Amino acid sequence: MKIHEYQAKQIIAQYGATVPQGHMAQSVEEAVKIAKNLGGPVQVVKAQIHAGGRGKGGGVKVSKGLDAVKESATAILGMQLVTHQTGPGGQKVKTLLIEEGMDIKKEFYFSILVDRASKKIVMIASREGGMEIEEVAEKTPEKILKEWINPVTGLRPFQVSRLAYALGFDQYGKAAVKGAKKLFTSLYQTFIQEDCDLLEINPLIVTKEGRVLALDCKMSFDSNALYRHPMTVELRDLDEEDPAEVEASQHDLNFIKLEGEIGCMVNGAGFAMATMDLIHDYGGTPANFLDVGGTADEERVENAFRIITKDEKVKCILINIFGGIVRCDMIASGVVKAFKSVALKIPVVVRLEGTNAKKAHEIINQSGLEGKLVMVDGFGPAAQKAVELAKAQG
């Protein structure tokens, strides 16, 4: 689950992180009023959408004076903001963050995430703030610093000191070093206490006066831990999320919409990713990632089917199930029921192996849907057939 920048800054401030003064606005008039109350010669008008790259897309404007704030707010509010993370359709801007302008001396990159390889939390930092960290990692990997944190001992004082000095905060005075160490510690506490899976500050800045602040903040949370944070759940902006993904979450389905033409229904996350890879190998593109889970029942399968078929780009559906805990005959019954209720007009390739697979084949063969539900034996042949049928649809 993701939240907006202004919400993320409110959370990290509760743990002691220093952020610029600012408030959320949903109208031009409100934006001007906030800017007037903030005072100062410069304010920044920032679009609030769940995507990075807002500045490059025209969604962040430095504004000198109230007339400039009004002009910036008018231009940004309601625009269809397109960034490298929104896709070509962009995202409509409904909310703004109006902040005090900062006298920036230097920008840095900082983030905290879970390193699954080491089974530790890792802090990642770079002097190349404001840039895409992927670009920095590709072109100048030596500029990226990492500090792994033992989950038993937690973050140690020497680690924040080492990171602060390695980033060169001592060049900006003792106050800057102290501020950086305080900020790193508070962000780590936020990450742990709020059950985050990502906390990114880009840029983290030091001002000419030596103040260290989080100028931007991106946060996402471990969905499995949200039951511990009911107030965080209330921050969820459903308008910013794909409707199909929202619906899928309501049915306990792991679903991510993609841009391809072959819908996928698979049980098991790793199996689903392997299915998507195989579709690519045969020249197709998956329309989604969908894991119905190891304990799927007929109702969940039917809901999954409905969600996939709402995507008009889908030209064929590949159902790839290996029955261990889940029974293949139950999946087959759910597929037949869903196919008839949705009145689908595109082909569906079905590969069912494992528990009660023979019975599942009988259910499909006796469904009266010959030519519409295509049974295929084998992982590779099923993916290949789905690609062939999708291309045949034109």
Active site residue 261: no
Round the CA-based radius of gyration of the chain to a whole number and report it. Answer: 25
C-alpha closest to that of 74 among 30, 36, 21: 30
CA torsion, points 46, 49, 54, 58, in degrees to nearest 10?
Answer: -70
Active site residue 71: no
Structure tokens at 27: 């109208």
Structure tokens at 381: 């042949």
Instruction: Single out the catalytic residue among 5, 107, 200, 240.
Output: 200
Instruction: Single out the catalytic residue among 109, 128, 188, 240.
Output: 109
* HEC assignment per residue over the chain: CECCHHHHHHHHHHCCCCCCCEEEECCHHHHHHHHHHHCCCEEEEEECCCCCCCCCCCCEEEEECHHHHHHHHHHHCCCEECCCCCCCCCEECCCEEEEECCCEEEEEEEEEEEECCCCEEEEEEECCCCCCHHHHHHHCHHHEEEEEECCCCCCCHHHHHHHHHHCCHHHHCHHHHHHHHHHHHHHHHHHHHCCEEEEEEEEEEEECCCCEEECCCEEEECHHHHHHCHHHHCCCCHHHCCHHHHHHHHCCCEEEECCCCEEEEECCHHHHHHHHHHHHHCCCCECEEEECCCCCCHHHHHHHHHHHHCCCCCCEEEEEEEECCCCHHHHHHHHHHHHHHHCCCCCEEEEEEECCHHHHHHHHHCCCCCCCEEECCCHHHHHHHHHHHHHHCC
C-alpha closest to that of 16 among 130, 160, 166, 228: 160
How far is 107 from 215, CA to CA, in rounded Å? 9
Active centre residues (catalytic)? 109, 200
